[in-house]
Amino acid sequence: MDALAGSPLGWLCVGITALFGVTILCRAKRSLAEKANVLAWSLLPVLLGLLCMATLGAGRGLVACAACLISSMYLGSRELLPVGDKAVLITGSDTGIGHALAKYLDNLGFIVFAGVLNKDGPGAEELRRTCSRRLSLLQLDITNATQVQEAYLKVSKKVQNTGLWGVVNNAGVLGFPADGELLPMNTYRQCMEVNFFGAVEVSKTFLPLLRKSQGRLVNMSSMAGGIPLPRYAAYGASKAALSMFSGVMRQELSKWGIKVAAIHPSGFRTGIQGTSDLWDKQEKELLENLPADTRQAYGEDYLLGLKSYLPRMPTYCDANLSPVLSAILHALLAKRPRGLYTPGKGAYMPLCIFCYFPLWFYDFFIRKMLSTDSVPRALRTPEAESKNL
């Protein structure tokens, strides 16, 4: 201890540990009901850090204190608030993630407002049959400002002075996966209208209720909203806009005590690709809007082969939605939620490659990962091939 007392590094070690201890005590004082829990996971690392300083000396003690601080922060990020009487609005609850999330949160004891596109549809009927009376169904087309306002009035009447704890902007459309040049402008507009403008409309409308509770805004983006992926120009652009909106809102709403998170899942089986009837309609619209020279350059077999990608999508996707549901629950209840969640296999690695590696390497990686045998007609000719060498 003599060597520790005479060392500037030792005093730094003591200062860090003392600051850490004061922070923990302040947290316990603010939340007396959880004092025992706070002390259980936090005070022990402090004592361990002091013991390390006393026995290992200043240098190793500092390392021990840093390790204690990091482990405590990690444990703190895993600490969840009680469900209590928290109310959450979920959009797009007819099918997929929204449907599963409504059941999941209802089972945990949340008061759930499940917004559905069709209040008389099979998804809404299943929620009525399987969920508790705490769950309320709302007719909610998020592109319809009147329905959004009506939903706000119904929710505000029920939550009254307590406010709304969470809004999960889940509703979304995929569009027809095809080269960006081929997609009709209507596909771009529809994706932006639902995936971005609809989410913004809902967020802006319900923020007064979130402000009352100092609650959470959770936006369901996509891996395609963080990295460029071939054939997802319309969908990816709309989700990228939603991700940027989430980031800005996270910064701006922090002064109100509202926490904002974006979810970037990898491939999960949600049914977002739609039905065969919808594919036929989208394919017809795509073909009818193509200029003759573009149609000639790509070729009929390439264009007609685009639709074959849609039935294969579920085979590449995970049917287990648990990672996504767990991420949303953490965003809703964690004392220190993350700003970005990447649930699912392969969701984080492409994002890291895109952010930290040269773009040519990322493009090479994506080409290999999403390789396809389909080649436009013009690129099969010797003349076109020689131009691209």
Active-site positions?
Answer: 235
Which of 327, 284, 311 has its CA nearest to residue 97?
A: 327
Instruction: Please classify residue 5 by burial: count the beta carbons closer than 10 Å to its beta carbon, then call 0-12 exposed, 13-18 middle and 19+ buried.
Output: exposed
Q: Which amino acid is present at 207?
A: L
Q: Which of 177, 172, 173, 181 is nearest to 313 (CA)?
A: 177
Residue matched to tokens 């609005």: 89
Give the largest CA-CA distance in the chain.
86
Q: Percentage helix, strand, coil, to 5, in the chain?
A: 65, 10, 25
Handedness of CA 363, 369, 373, 374 (dihedral sign): negative
Alpha-carbon distance of 100 to 127, in angstroms, equals 10
* Type of residue numbered 388: N
Sign of torsion over alpha carbons 281, 284, 289, 295: positive
How far apart are the C-alpha atoms of 51 and 53, rounded to whole Å?
Answer: 5
- CA gap 88, 165 in Å, rounded: 6
Which pairs from 68-74 meet CB under 8 Å and 24+ separation?
A: 68/17, 68/20, 69/16, 69/20, 69/45, 71/45, 72/20, 72/24, 72/41, 72/42, 72/45
Residue 46's nearest CA partner among 61, 30, 31, 29 is 61
Do residues 202 and 219 touch, judged by C-beta distance below 8 A? no
For residues 3 and 159, give the distance between their C-alpha atoms in angstroms, rounded to a whole number. 61
The token duo for 214 is 């100092």
CA angle 340, 346, 347 (to 5 degrees): 20
CA distance 86 to 162: 9
Angle between helices 96-108 and 322-333 (to 10 degrees): 60
